[in-house]
Structure 1
Amino acid sequence: MATRNYSLVSLLVLLYVFTSHAQLTANFYSSSCPNLESIVQSATETAVRSNSRTPASLLRLFFHDCFVQGCDASVLLVDAGGEQTARANRNLQALDVIEAIKSAVEASCNGTVSCADVLALATRDGVVLSGGPSWTVLLGRQDATTASEEEANRNLPGPSSSLSFLINLFAGKGLNLQELVALSGAHTVGFAPCRAFRTHIYNESNIDTEFAISARANCPFEGGDDILSPLDVTTRAVFDNAYYTNLVSLRGLFHSDQELFNNGPADSIVQSYVASGSVFFRDFAAAMVKLGNISPPAGSSVEIRRVCSRVN
């Protein structure tokens, strides 16, 4: 009976993912907003020129949005008790970037394009601008009218997460181990605050000694919680496969990063991405499409928000 129940749950997860995929299309706005992709690309380029951390910030927004009640721009809502107050959403960046892009889109296509689709397109463009792969963004999402801090705290992984926790969390979203490892490669760009990795660099053994000493220089044992360090010390602003090379060298900044290469089931996937950046790019792009297909629960209240930070 347990086996049959597990199979049923797995089937329902797959049906959920594939059904949402069927609702999205690459040409969703071909008639209603034909210049959408060029508008978003131009505005994203402007944002990246202004701040090289923008691609990483957009990736974080997109991931944190899709993992909490689906890809519905709920993370963009400024609301007491909303997702932005959750533990994993401290100091979210690029919220202003999405608002600026949305404003540019509204000027051409009033009330037509969702904030969720703007975020999906801008995230892809940010990855490309930092040297990463491109992919076809499927469109047709709608925006949530509510956001929940409780949901975000329950659904978003933290920097001290174990591999088993991550595997189960991703599986609940219809994402397998390979997709977990590929999506974690987003940490090839971006920075993290000292509080997120202090325990790993001071108290844990699965870390290169010289790397730990170097990281401690920028993250004191006490205080300095918000001091930033690059997630990828090798090529911090370039989207490449150096993140995985760092993991093999025991130079993952987060405990959760190093869990991907720690004598466990993810080791061989990490090694395959070290061996081939093109394989990583291929798998990352495919995983981003699948991540972007996670829909809000059936019956959710949705709309096309004109301003991403608030409901209409």
Structure 2
Amino acid sequence: MASRTWHCWLLLVFFLLSDDASGQLSTSYYADSCPSVEKVVHATVASAIQAERRMGASLIRLFFHDCFVQGCDASILLDDVPATGFVGEKTAAPNNNSVRGYEVIDQIKANVEDVCPGVVSCADIVALAARDSTALCTNFRAHIYNDANIDPSFAALRRRACPAAAPNGDTNLAPLDVQTQNAFDNAYYGNLLVRRGLLHSDQVLFNGGSQDALVRQYAANPALFAADFAKAMVKMGNIGQPSDGEVRCDCRVVNDS
């Protein structure tokens, strides 16, 4: 059921990304050069989610981490190259051992290249694929030990796998949503209402400030959250669209000059 839920959510985002009249990505962009691209991407993503339910969330997170660093250019996919000294975004602190789904993008790229070689960009593949549900102990330790705006029983639960003294347990994982870990829904906002946000940056969204009303709306209305989330994905997909890039043959490396 959870994988089916992810499938429906990703389809919603996919169609909104595709139908955005003002954006660079549309259903007609590859209509002549690669008419089967959407079918190929959809099939590959569906297969990946069926194999691992959390992969849908991971692909959306990968899309976010790419777009919020100098725009949606698929630079997060580039591997470090020790021989040349190139260090990319993939091994940066927020991404290393955290962002995942690269192998799914590799598979999509390979499948697309089979039918349309050298046509579809890696950035567009990431956007189409995005249509984790976990955090590292090192990122929520301060919240569960030091903050007052957290449910005591929830803090005690999370402390079991996250020792107070760093770096012990730094890479231990905990679900952002303890209720519906494998479903994409609005339970996150319900958790905030009862002070069960895992990260400090989550719980401050509901802490007596201007965002409290919006948190209550999303917690009570899953359809509103779904619609607003999809619109936000479209806006994010248009951040810093590059005009001088290249269609990489392999998303992990730049093409040979």
Normalising by the smaller structure, the TM-score range is: 0.7 to 0.9
The aligned runs of 1:58-97 (5 Å cut-off) are 58-79=59-80, 80-91=86-97, 92-97=99-104
Q: CA deviation at 1:82?
A: 1.3
Report if aligned partners of 1:72, 1:116 keep a CA contact under 8 Å in 2. yes
Partner residue of 1:192 out of 135, 149, 159? 135
The alignment partner of 2:149 has SS state of coil
Structure 2 Cα separation of the partners of residues 219 and 52 of structure 1: 25
The alignment partner of 1:89 has SS state of coil
Residues 61-109 of structure 1: CA deviation (Å, up to 9, x unaligned): 1001111111110111113321112221121211111011110011011
Q: TM-score, normalised by structure 2?
A: 0.84
Structure 2 Cα separation of the partners of residues 72 and 290 of structure 1: 15
Report if aligned partners of 2:25, 2:124 keep a CA contact under 8 Å in 1. no
What residue ranges of structure 2 are gaps of 5+ in the alignment? Answer: 1-20, 81-85
Structure 2 Cα separation of the partners of residues 190 and 49 of structure 1: 16
Query: Which residue does 2:33 correspond to in 1?
Result: 32
Runs of 4+ displaced beyond 4 Å: none
Which amino acid in 2 is paired with 1:105?
Answer: V
Report if aligned partners of 1:56, 1:190 keep a CA contact under 8 Å in 2. yes
For these two proteins, the number of residue pairs brought into alignment is 227
What residue ranges of structure 1 are gaps of 5+ in the alignment? Answer: 1-19, 125-188
Query: Which residue does 1:121 correspond to in 2?
Result: 128
The alignment partner of 1:229 has SS state of strand
Partner residue of 2:182 out of 230, 234, 237? 237
Q: Does 1:256 align with 2:201?
A: yes
Structure 2 Cα separation of the partners of residues 202 and 23 of structure 1: 45
Structure 2 Cα separation of the partners of residues 35 and 71 of structure 1: 22
Query: Which residue does 1:307 correspond to in 2?
Result: 250
Query: Which residue does 1:109 correspond to in 2?
Result: 116
Q: CA deviation at 1:47?
A: 1.3
Q: TM-score, normalised by structure 1?
A: 0.70
Q: Does 1:206 align with 2:149?
A: yes
The alignment partner of 1:65 has SS state of helix
Which amino acid in 2 is paired with 1:255?
Answer: H
Structure 2 Cα separation of the partners of residues 26 and 38 of structure 1: 11
Q: Decide which structure has greater helix share.
A: 1
Q: Structure 1 vs Structure 2: percent identity of aligned residues?
A: 52
Report if aligned partners of 1:201, 1:215 keep a CA contact under 8 Å in 2. yes
Report if aligned partners of 1:21, 1:293 keep a CA contact under 8 Å in 2. no
Query: Which residue does 2:105 correspond to in 1?
Result: 98
The alignment partner of 1:86 has SS state of coil
Query: Which residue does 1:218 correspond to in 2?
Result: 161
Q: Does 1:247 align with 2:253?
A: no
Which amino acid in 1 is paired with 2:201?
Answer: S
Q: What is the Cα-based RMSD across aligned positions, in Å? A: 1.5
Report if aligned partners of 1:66, 1:294 keep a CA contact under 8 Å in 2. yes
Residues 30-78 of structure 1: CA deviation (Å, up to 9, x unaligned): 1111111111111111211222221121112100111111111011111
Structure 1 Cα separation of the partners of residues 92 and 182 of structure 2: 26
The alignment partner of 1:197 has SS state of helix
Residues 98-122 of structure 1: CA deviation (Å, up to 9, x unaligned): 0111100110110010111111111
The alignment partner of 2:254 has SS state of coil
Structure 2 Cα separation of the partners of residues 248 and 45 of structure 1: 33
Query: Which residue does 1:285 correspond to in 2?
Result: 230
Residues 147-181 of structure 1: CA deviation (Å, up to 9, x unaligned): xxxxxxxxxxxxxxxxxxxxxxxxxxxxxxxxxxx
Q: Tell me whether 109-118 or 49-58 shows the greater mean CA deviation.
A: 49-58
Q: CA deviation at 1:22?
A: 4.5
Which amino acid in 2 is paired with 1:303?
Answer: E
Q: Does 1:49 align with 2:50?
A: yes
Report if aligned partners of 2:72, 2:240 keep a CA contact under 8 Å in 1. yes
